[in-house]
Amino acid sequence: MALADLEARIASAVEAVAPSVAAVEALRLGGRGRGPAIPSPSQATAVVTDRAGYLVTNQHVVDGAAHLSVRLADGRELPAEVVGGDEVTDLALIHVDAVDLPAARLGDSEALRVGQFVLAVGHALGLPGGPTVSLGVVSALARPLPGSDFVFEGLVQTDAAINPGNSGGPLVDLGGSVVGINTAVVPFAQGVGFALPIHAAQRITDELRRTGRVVRPWVGVQIAELVPALARQVGAEPRSGLLVAEVVPRSPAHRAGIRPGDILTSVGPFEVRTVRQLLESLARFPVGSDVPLGFRRRGEKLSANVPLQESPEALPPAH
């Protein structure tokens, strides 16, 4: 591709998504001692995902805000309300009283490839004027966020610059489609930012719109992936399942007879070899349903029906 063609595609992608990118101001009240509360505004970004006035941003943007306002691409400034938020994925859905908004075109984050060009679009540093754009590549897929055990859905890692104020803005492919929601940057690193894949964001915001919160199924096991070194220790084939390291007392798995040392191999009809596969498979079943878990114990293939409970914590240490 000639450089001029690449430039044209970048410019066209920005023109396609820019009308859907909004600036968010979150006003928090803070003060010292018995003095008066002092308004403390912060700026971020949101993207219109529904013409009926729904926008997606980050949960940390809206958390604790006494007042939210949105400045749309056409210059209108409107108060916004929080429909719901999810701390696990740092995603929030907000709403403004407006119709026929220019909703962004959503892409296919499952089709992303490491090395492809992406754009981070947002109101970096809260500077006046339109959104800023940075160009980079998809650096990695299905990443956990450093400093945590895992993120519910694997994150898209990119070297497209994500600066303060970009939070909640779209990660865009060169076709102008949103493939992720920018969520975090590692302050001690250079060129390392993260975005929640849009396929995960869509499912979460759909649930937020219906119920205002995300309900996650839980069975009560702490697991470890069978990487080659661990597989050798337990006498199993690498990547042949998930090792049960711990079972939470009185949890559904405990009552169903799952024990530490068992190797989970399936959830219903779905094989599980990674944490992500386990979480995504469990999410296919409603809380309250009985789900057959396939597992191996000392080489014997077994199965147990496990009733799914709602996760007792926002970010459970066990699944």
pLDDT at position 318 is 45
> What is the CATH class of 109-211?
mainly beta
Query: What is the per-residue DSSP string for 262-314?
Result: -EEEEETTEE--SHHHHHHHHTTS-TT-EEEEEEEETTEEEEEEEE-EE-SSS
Alpha helices in the chain (DSSP H): 3-17, 59-62, 198-211, 228-234, 252-255, 275-282
pLDDT at position 149 is 40
Contact 10, 132 (CB under 8 A): no
Contact 87, 315 (CB under 8 A): yes
Task: Map out the domains of the chain as residue ranges.
Answer: 109-211, 217-310
Residues whose CB is less than 8 angstroms from the CB of residue 282 and which lie 6 or more positions away in sequence, other chains included: 216, 217, 218, 219, 267, 291, 308, 319
* Amino acid code (one letter) for 257: G
pLDDT at position 57 is 96
Alpha carbon distance 55, 47 (integer Å): 5
pLDDT at position 178 is 98
220 conformational bin, left if phi > 0, alpha if psi -120 to 50, beta if neither: left
Residue 215 token pair? 């309900």
Q: How far is CA 12 from CA 5, 18, 103, 126, 144, in A?
A: 10, 10, 16, 24, 32
CATH 2.30.42.10 fits 217-310, yes or no: yes
Alpha carbon distance 10, 260 (integer Å): 52
pLDDT at position 146 is 52
As separate numbers, helices (DSSP H) first and strands (DSSP E) second, the chain gives 6, 20
Q: Which positions are catalytic?
A: 60, 90, 167
- pLDDT (tens place) for every residue of the chain, 319 residues total: 688 888 999 999 999 999 999 999 998 876 555 544 445 568 899 999 999 999 999 999 999 898 999 999 999 999 999 999 998 889 999 999 999 999 999 999 999 999 999 999 999 887 777 799 999 999 999 887 654 444 455 789 999 988 888 889 999 999 999 999 998 777 777 778 999 999 989 989 999 999 898 888 889 998 888 888 888 888 888 888 999 999 999 999 999 999 999 999 999 999 999 887 888 888 888 888 999 999 999 889 999 999 998 877 543 344 5
pLDDT at position 41 is 66
DSSP state of 20: G
Residue 56 token pair? 């997606």
Residues whose CB is less than 8 angstroms from the CB of residue 141 and which lie 6 or more positions away in sequence, other chains included: 112, 114, 154, 156, 157
Alpha carbon distance 118, 193 (integer Å): 12
